[in-house]
Structure 1
Amino acid sequence: MIDYETLRCVAWVIIGLLLIGFAITDGFDMGVSMLLPVLGKSDMDRRIMINTVGPHWDGNQVWLITAGGAIFAVWPLVYAVSFSGFYFAMLLALASLWLRPLGFDYRSKIDSPVWRDVCDKALFAGGLIPSVIFGVAFGNLMQGIPFVLNDLLMTSYKGSFWGLLNPFALLCGLLSLSMILTQGSTWLQMKTTGSLHSRACAFSELSAIVTAALYVIAGIWAYNLDGYHISSAVVTDAAANPLNKQVVTVAHGLFQNFNHYPVLWIIPALAVIAPIFTALSAKKQKDGTAFAMSSITVTSIILTAGIALFPFIIPSSINPSHSLTIWDATSSEKTLGIVALIAVIMVPIILGYTLWCYRKMFGRVDKSYIEQNKTTLY
């Protein structure tokens, strides 16, 4: 039988894997959507781009839905605080995501340049807005969210939507945008031919270098941010109650976990090295390697943020002692056990099925393929 402390750590890993899975898979189709007006020089180019993600985009969104459901199940207080503090931001992100099925499914239903342009703009917005908002959210988490809890553990959010758009959070939003664009362009490298492939390679070189530069700037900034530290005894197996601890802020302490365990610096180092290799691979037109390096970049960036915050999930900038951690914001031991069991059984099945789908549908999309299947493709 797995103890409560271990289950709490397992839950943290599960949520992290789901977020990484979403960023890697849904990241490339959001990236492709944003690149439609950039790389698509003609309607045929744009249709080719859309059909490179056509078999996968809707399935990729399941990662986000699953992550949201998992957060509700294992971190109910986190779910409550998130929807209180990020309500309008999340509503904006969800509204933009709703544009994607409309753009994908109805773009080719009407043979009109005006209609297709409207759908292309919907797809562009559906990729741009969530990419920036998710980055802004992580930027705010790393600084702390202005919320407090009362004696009944009811949340009171003291901030505003505009307060979320602070300089560091916006920088993280730009980093997220660049990261997703690189993911999309490297995907297009693997799936296209001719001049479109060449443009995708050139864009991958540029966006990968921009991602590395933004990450370094954000890292230097973050290194000087205050961190949070549990100053009271850390009880890892007690019933969840965020009010039963004392937390202090540590000047320039956001990366204290990396300083305590120096081997962890490998992860942020990878987040700098991987995009450089992405650019080099794109330059040499090693398409699969470029996409793999971009995926490693995504993974390393998300892990850097997660490890920097650990064990905090949502720090409180108003009253640090009300911060939510993996030790005091989780569901019951039984709930975590059920979630862990489901994850052990279902995640390998889902991964296996997903990989099988990608393998069966792997191949490059070109003009002749579109013309041969123009009545059935997007």
Structure 2
Amino acid sequence: MILHELISFEYLRLIWWLLLGVLLIGFALTDGFDMGVGILLPFVAKTDVERRVVINTVGPVWEGNQVWFILGGGAIFAAFPPLYAVSFSGFYLAMFAILSALIIRPVAFKFRSKREDATWRSRWDKALFYSGFVPALIFGVAVGNVLLGVPFHLTPDLHAIYEGGAFGKLFGLLRPFALLCGIVSVAMLVMHGAGWLVLKTDGGIAQRARKLGSRAALVVMAGYALAGMWLAVGIDGYSLVGQVPHDGPSNPLASQVLREGSWLLAYLERPWIAIAPAMGFVGSFMAWRALQGEGQFSPLGWSKMALFGLISSVGLTIFPFLLPSKSQPDSSLTIWDASSSHLTLFVMLGATVIFLPLILLYTAWVYRVLWGKVTQKDVSDPDHHAY
């Protein structure tokens, strides 16, 4: 038996769908609070010293956190290349906006404190806000568009054709339901960032973070509930027709797809997946309660639970779809027909088994070394490196 045949093609596709979810959720849990802190920066810090305290809570870790974003993008590219090709080519203006924000962020961290001028520093503070707000909004809008269906179709030679032209690919994404998902995404990361600031700061910064974070948690719960009701009554879901071979060749046009019913029918077919939205609601509610109280650690823990539940609920709801097509449902991409080859997935899994635990161990070590609160004394001490 050939080595890679030890794990069937079907199970490898399923494993990589799960790993992709793990990587994207890992990005949200780590780099998500960085973005939330950036959004909160103008509102929780009233003086330059306070702003430096806020920035120094994420300054030493944001770069490592962004590794999860790179891993997620790499996993899409290697495990599901049609998904990478169709989504990145169709959403390239939106992707450029995200990348511009992620490029501006390190520049802002490095250059903000190079001059004492208040105007200079204020401009970089705005850049940090932009670098947090824009990705948070666009990621949420993207999720909303996946649930709505993306306006593309595949030609017989699997070339993706998008409707609406170049600017339509950007502004066409701003549909009401997608904007609601974007608002939930921003509020979710603000809640998460507030939990981080409660953990890493004290005094006025922490109190303001509690106030804003608790409001964001209420927006998350209300927005998520509204999105669920909208899905139930106003948005058609997708379903595969007949038995689709789970170990067949990767050809999206080989499957027949119907657009009818509701995405929420998945909860009747697989009732156990209801644990995901339950975690989202419970985590958000408990994060709100913790932010209202005086606990130091629980807000961040509960917000992590909320993010895990909210994000995983999307993937579980649309399974096995990766990118539904609005204009031609038969062109929709699923995990069964948009993956790499059997051998490629097996080799990648072997590399992941080796390197992912090392990344987790290194990340845990870094956070252990950097444990503790950032104070005004820390950022004012010339013997300590501070942003």
Given that residues 185 and 200 in structure 1 are in contact (C-alpha distance below 8 angstroms), is that contact kept between their aligned partners in structure 2?
Answer: yes
Residue 146 (1) aligns with residue 151 (2): yes
Given that residues 81 and 157 in structure 1 are in contact (C-alpha distance below 8 angstroms), is that contact kept between their aligned partners in structure 2?
Answer: no
1:175-194 to 2 correspondences below 5 Å: 175-194=184-203
The partner residue of 1:288 within 297, 301, 308 is: 297
Where does residue 156 of structure 1 map in the other structure? 161
Where does residue 98 of structure 1 map in the other structure? 103
1:332-343 to 2 correspondences below 5 Å: 332-343=341-352
1:200-239 to 2 correspondences below 5 Å: 200-224=209-233, 225-239=235-249
- How far, CA to CA, are the matches of 1:240 and 1:194 in structure 2? 56
The partner residue of 2:334 within 314, 325, 330 is: 325
- For the residue of structure 1 that corresponds to 2:337, the secondary structure is coil
C-alpha displacement of 1:294? 0.3
The change in CA–CA distance for 1:149 and 1:257 in structure 2 (over 3 A counts) is same
Letter in 2 for 1:152: D
Where does residue 3 of structure 2 map in the other structure? none
C-alpha displacement of 1:223? 2.1
CA shift digits 1:100-156 (9 cap, x unpaired) = 001111111111111100110110000000000000000000111111111111111
Where does residue 264 of structure 2 map in the other structure? 255
Residue 7 (1) aligns with residue 32 (2): no
- How far, CA to CA, are the matches of 1:234 and 1:68 in structure 2? 27
- How far, CA to CA, are the matches of 1:76 and 1:179 in structure 2? 29
Where does residue 68 of structure 1 map in the other structure? 73
- How far, CA to CA, are the matches of 2:363 and 2:299 in structure 1? 20
Where does residue 264 of structure 1 map in the other structure? 273
- How far, CA to CA, are the matches of 1:287 and 1:206 in structure 2? 18
- How far, CA to CA, are the matches of 2:268 and 2:24 in structure 1? 25
When the two structures are superposed, what TM-score results if normalisation uses the length of structure 1? Answer: 0.98
Given that residues 314 and 323 in structure 1 are in contact (C-alpha distance below 8 angstroms), is that contact kept between their aligned partners in structure 2?
Answer: yes
- How far, CA to CA, are the matches of 1:377 and 1:12 in structure 2? 40
- Unmatched tracts of structure 2, length 5 or more: 1-5
Where does residue 245 of structure 1 map in the other structure? 255
Number of aligned positions between the proteins: 377
C-alpha displacement of 1:287? 2.3
C-alpha displacement of 1:339? 1.4
The change in CA–CA distance for 1:353 and 1:158 in structure 2 (over 3 A counts) is same
- For the residue of structure 2 that corresponds to 1:226, the secondary structure is coil
Residue 358 (1) aligns with residue 375 (2): no
- How far, CA to CA, are the matches of 1:34 and 1:100 in structure 2? 12
Where does residue 136 of structure 2 map in the other structure? 131
C-alpha displacement of 1:51? 0.3
- Unmatched tracts of structure 1, length 5 or more: none
Q: Percent identity?
A: 43
Given that residues 378 and 384 in structure 2 are in contact (C-alpha distance below 8 angstroms), is that contact kept between their aligned partners in structure 1?
Answer: no
C-alpha displacement of 1:374? 7.0
- How far, CA to CA, are the matches of 2:42 and 2:32 in structure 1? 17
C-alpha displacement of 1:95? 0.7
Farther off after superposition, 175-184 or 199-208? 199-208
- How far, CA to CA, are the matches of 2:303 and 2:207 in structure 1? 17
Farther off after superposition, 139-148 or 284-293? 284-293
- For the residue of structure 2 that corresponds to 1:132, the secondary structure is helix
Letter in 2 for 1:103: A
Given that residues 233 and 245 in structure 1 are in contact (C-alpha distance below 8 angstroms), is that contact kept between their aligned partners in structure 2?
Answer: no
- How far, CA to CA, are the matches of 1:105 and 1:71 in structure 2? 31
- How far, CA to CA, are the matches of 1:168 and 1:18 in structure 2? 25
